[in-house]
């Protein structure tokens, strides 16, 4: 037990844990027991988990240890505890998607593709994570299951809709989680909680077994505390899946071995125009810190980003509202009040608006394709502010008061709109809550983004350790 407790107090990531288990410096059972202990001690404070599968996790950990004892390789995630947003199917468990409407649904028959990939690699699934109802929100202030709290300040939101996924990593409950991103639902909580998050190219990671929100915008991706762990997870997740109709047929890519190439030879620029206003000064300071570390002086403009965000709103509202139309007609009172009104509004969006938004989407995609002929990676703020307070209704940006909850996606929505890959990297400024910077790339260029993330990490410009308060609590 002493070995496990000492190990638990490290900021060990997935790669380090798997290495230690394979070399028998610690057992998978000790690691998973430690994770379950931390969840038991701290999740009552944070509210990251909607369910914890302790018996199943301990059984899987024993299987990993048995494989190691036989001299077999359990996989690249050997014994690593991980958890998943509760819109991803877990075999034998009901997929809630943050709702009570689905509480009576039949249990999932099999794991979602992304969950199965991590388990096949030796990862040990310990539970399902809190989220905004049906992934429609940026704060994880769920009226049914309670708000997830930010490990860096318990009075603040963790971000959303993958708030449980980000907070669990930031508090050191697990080193790796899965989330989903429609308009920023991985990137916003990653930024608020000070961890790494990857929204891959649309269709690069299978969504089979995910309870989708907006099919034409949804992505599944990982969150972690290092560029290496993020790359490892992406390597295990990406690749074709004939059972997912939108999944790319491109062969799976391995990014981890090339991380140490860093930013060498890459053309990097800062997004100006739309991405240089309507935010707290600290959001731009975070971008400046990253660009300075990379020696980046070039500025580019992403054309019509404001219109892209508006079009993303139209498509999100329309697809999301119509996806839930039957339940809105028959049991509207069972929806989270913070979700219901926006879904109802989405059912009333005129078809002409949706048609125009889709035509603009094609034009915008072409303009970005042209832009990425001249640049490899674009830097932009992830959010316009640090994590807001739980219950906070409005915020002031550039002297204008606006609703806080929907406007946390000001900088993430124009990128999701055409499915570009993005890595959100954590920036810690003295005396401030964490911020995130988006590393944006052309489709299927995740490897370049992960290389830049590693470069920044190696230079000390970005970092993600367990939130100090929870690291201190774990040591008690």
Cα–Cα distance for residue pair 358/51, rounded to 1 Å: 38
**324: phi then psi, degrees, rounded to nearest 5:** -105, 15
| Residue of 99, 117, 161, 162 marked active site | 161
Distance of CA 369 to the CA centre of its chain: 24
Element (H, E) at 329: helix 325-331
Which residue is catalytic, options 99, 185, 248, 424? 185
Instruction: Select which of 22, 85, 199, 448 is catalytic.
Output: 85
State the burial class of residue 68 (Cβ atoms within 10 Å of its Cβ: 0-12, 13-18, 19+). Answer: buried
Active site residue 291: no
Between the alpha carbon of residue 43 and those of residues 34, 85, 174, 254, 473, the distances in Å are 14, 15, 12, 34, 12
Closest by CA position to 5, among listed 39, 44, 33, 40: 33
The token pair at 356 is: 């125009």
CA 302 to chain centre: 23
Q: Which two tokens stand for residue 461?
A: 């410009």
Rounded to whole angstroms, the Cα distance separating 370 from 202 reads: 18
Spatial distance between the Cα atoms of 426 and 362, rounded to a whole number of angstroms: 31
Q: Given the structure tokens 């030879």, which residue do they identify?
A: 265
Q: Which of 386, 422, 405 is nearest to 161 (CA)?
A: 405
Q: Is 68 helix (H, G, I), strand (E, B) or coil?
A: helix
For residues 465 and 291, what is the distance between their CA atoms, to the nearest angstrom? 22
Nearest to 178 by CA among 258, 259, 121: 121
Nearest alpha carbon to residue 41 among 465, 470, 466, 467: 470
Q: Which residues contact 103 (CB under 8 A, 6 or more apart)?
A: 94, 96
What is the maximal distance between C-alpha atoms in the chain? 65
Tally DSSP H helices, then E strands, for the chain. 17, 17
Nearest by Cα to 13 from 105, 76, 72, 68: 76
Q: Are 198 and 420 in contact (CB under 8 A)?
A: no
d(CA 104, CA 71): 44
161 is catalytic: yes
For strands 394-397 and 377-381, give the pairing.
Answer: unpaired
**CA dihedral sign of residues 334, 142, 406, 160:** negative
Active-site positions read 85, 161, 185
């Amino acid at each position: 037990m002493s070995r496990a407790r000492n190990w638990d107090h490290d900021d060990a990531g997935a790669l380090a844990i798997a290495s230690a288990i394979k070399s028998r410096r610690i057992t998978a059972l000790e690691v998973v027991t430690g994770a379950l202990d931390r969840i038991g001690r701290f999740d009552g404070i944070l509210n990251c988990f909607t369910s914890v599968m302790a018996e199943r996790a301990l059984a899987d950990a024993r299987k990993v240890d048995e494989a190691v004892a036989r001299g077999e390789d359990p996989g690249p995630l050997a014994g690593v505890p991980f958890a998943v947003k509760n819109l991803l199917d877990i075999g034998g468990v009901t997929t809630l998607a943050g709702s009570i409407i689905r509480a009576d649904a039949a249990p999932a028959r099999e794991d979602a593709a992304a969950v199965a990939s991590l388990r096949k690699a030796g990862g040990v699934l310990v539970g399902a994570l809190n989220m905004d109802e049906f992934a429609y929100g940026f704060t994880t202030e769920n009226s049914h299951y309670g708000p997830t709290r930010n490990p860096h300040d318990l009075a603040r939101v963790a971000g959303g809709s993958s708030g449980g996924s980000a907070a669990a990593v930031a508090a050191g409950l697990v080193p790796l989680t899965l989330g989903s991103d429609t308009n920023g639902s991985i990137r916003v909580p990653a930024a608020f909680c000070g961890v790494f998050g990857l929204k891959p190219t649309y269709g690069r990671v299978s969504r089979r077994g995910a309870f989708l929100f907006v099919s034409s915008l949804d992505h599944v991706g990982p969150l972690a505390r290092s560029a290496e762990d993020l790359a490892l997870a992406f390597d295990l997740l990406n690749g074709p899946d004939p059972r997912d109709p939108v999944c790319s047929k491109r062969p799976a890519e391995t990014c981890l071995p090339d991380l140490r190439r860093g930013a060498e030879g890459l053309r990097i620029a800062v997004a100006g125009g739309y991405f240089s206003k309507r935010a707290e000064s600290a959001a731009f300071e975070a971008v400046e810190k990253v660009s300075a570390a990379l020696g980046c002086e070039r500025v580019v403009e992403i054309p019509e980003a404001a219109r892209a965000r508006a079009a993303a709103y139209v498509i999100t509202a329309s697809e999301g509202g119509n996806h839930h139309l039957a339940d809105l007609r028959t049991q509207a009172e069972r929806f989270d009040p913070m979700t219901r009104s926006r879904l109802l509004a989405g059912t009333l969006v005129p078809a002409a608006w949706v048609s125009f938004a889709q035509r603009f989407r094609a034009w915008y995609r072409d303009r970005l394709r042209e832009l990425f002929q001249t640049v490899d990676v674009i830097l932009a703020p992830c959010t316009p502010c640090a994590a807001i307070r739980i219950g906070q209704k409005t915020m002031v940006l550039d002297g204008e008061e606006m609703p806080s909850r929907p406007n946390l996606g000001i900088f993430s929505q124009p990128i999701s709109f055409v499915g570009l890959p993005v890595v959100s990297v954590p920036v810690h400024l003295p005396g401030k809550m964490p911020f995130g910077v988006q590393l944006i790339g052309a489709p299927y260029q995740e490897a370049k983004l992960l290389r830049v993330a590693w470069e920044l990490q190696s230079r000390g410009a970005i970092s993600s350790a367990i939130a100090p308060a929870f690291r201190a609590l774990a040591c008690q």
